[in-house]
Amino acid sequence: MSSISTGRSFIMKRIDNQPDKCLTTLPGDKVGVWDCVKGHPAQTWYLESDRTLRHADPGYANKCVQVNMDNSISLAPCGPNSTKFTYANNRFTVNGTNPQRCINLSGRDYSNGAFVDSFVCDSAQPDTITWIASPPVVAPVVNRDSTASDCRINDPGLTKLFQDIDKCTSSSELSRNNVFGGNIMNITQDIKDLQANITDSLSKGDLLFGAQPHNQITEQVTERNKELKSKKEKLSKDIVSKEAIIERSDQDFRDVKQTISEPEPKKILRFIEDYSVAFLLLSYIFMLLSGMYWYTLDATVQTTAWIQAIIGGGVLSAFFFMILLHIS
């Protein structure tokens, strides 16, 4: 297996029978191949510790090799989403791809300025994706435990710091730390018990309501919504039909009202204008005068008799007038 260390500059050279072609930068932040020129800055690369492939030329500082959505390759500002690479077995593979993809010479074009892209590593033409990094340097295997041990041995101040922290910890603080650790363990057990209770509750719910009660509830709500919607539509149609009937009835009423003349105004009964009443009144006056005449005919004192007859006739007339007024 061939590999390279991080932070060391190298060139990437094609492995085939064609003239030496090296990975190089092209105008417009493009990446392609060109005739290898020893020591040329445009053909010098390095693999950063975060596995991003970068150019060694200061003019491309903070720019990383990026595989785009269309599998083309270009230089773009470095960031958390920059493409990560691994060099092994003479291949520069793109991390996180399935199937695995490698830096590939696009269209097997060997001419100067030809672009590179991302292509499936296990393709029918593996010679198009093999590169050699020069100089090949094997990356050291890092063992965290050994490096930590070396750090403490070479830096006695770290060990002294731990000793000072332990020395400065009071008994109450140590007891509190122990209690805190015990509480953490108790909380862990409580969480496990709670998970068990939740599982039991879910099992009981499955027994009571079925394994998927939410589907039944959804179906019931859907059916209820359809039923209510149907009732709403029926009520709306009924309201519209009744409004039409009311409007037709109102129009008919207005049409009939327009054909009827205005009612006669209420009139007060006028006795003089009514001929029958006038005739009756004349008869009453004639009767009253006849009675007054006969009353005074044999009277000794005519003046007194006439006064009495006039008063009696007035009282009798007032009585009859009130009777007629009440009747009318």
Provide the number of structural domains found in the chain: 3
Boundary (domain end) residue, out of 81, 114, 134: 134
**pTM given for the model:** 0.39
pLDDT tens column, 34-92: 888 877 788 888 888 888 888 888 788 889 999 999 889 999 999 888 999 887 777 77
Contact 36, 25 (CB under 8 A): no
Work out the mean pLDDT of the chain and round it to a whole number. Answer: 77
Q: What is the pLDDT of residue 267?
A: 54
Contact 44, 12 (CB under 8 A): no
Domain extent at residue 235:
202-260
164 within domain boundaries: no
Paired with 128 in beta bridges are none
174 within domain boundaries: no
Residues 17 and 103 reside in one and the same domain:
yes
Quickly list H helices, 96-212.
Answer: 144-154, 156-168, 171-209
1 within domain boundaries: no
Contact 93, 101 (CB under 8 A): yes
244 within domain boundaries: yes
Residues 16 and 91 reside in one and the same domain:
yes
CATH number at residue 86: 2.80.10.50
Residues 250 and 282 reside in one and the same domain:
no
184 within domain boundaries: no
Lowest mean pLDDT among 84-93, 99-108, 123-132: 123-132
Q: What is the pLDDT of residue 235?
A: 94
Residues 279 and 248 reside in one and the same domain:
no
More confident residue, 208 or 154: 208
pLDDT tens column, 146-169: 556 656 665 667 677 777 787 888
Contact 309, 295 (CB under 8 A): yes
- Reduced to 3 states, what is the DSSP secondary structure of residue 234? helix
Query: From edge to edge, which strands make up the β-sheet containing 116-120?
Result: 85-88, 91-94, 101-105, 116-120
210 within domain boundaries: yes
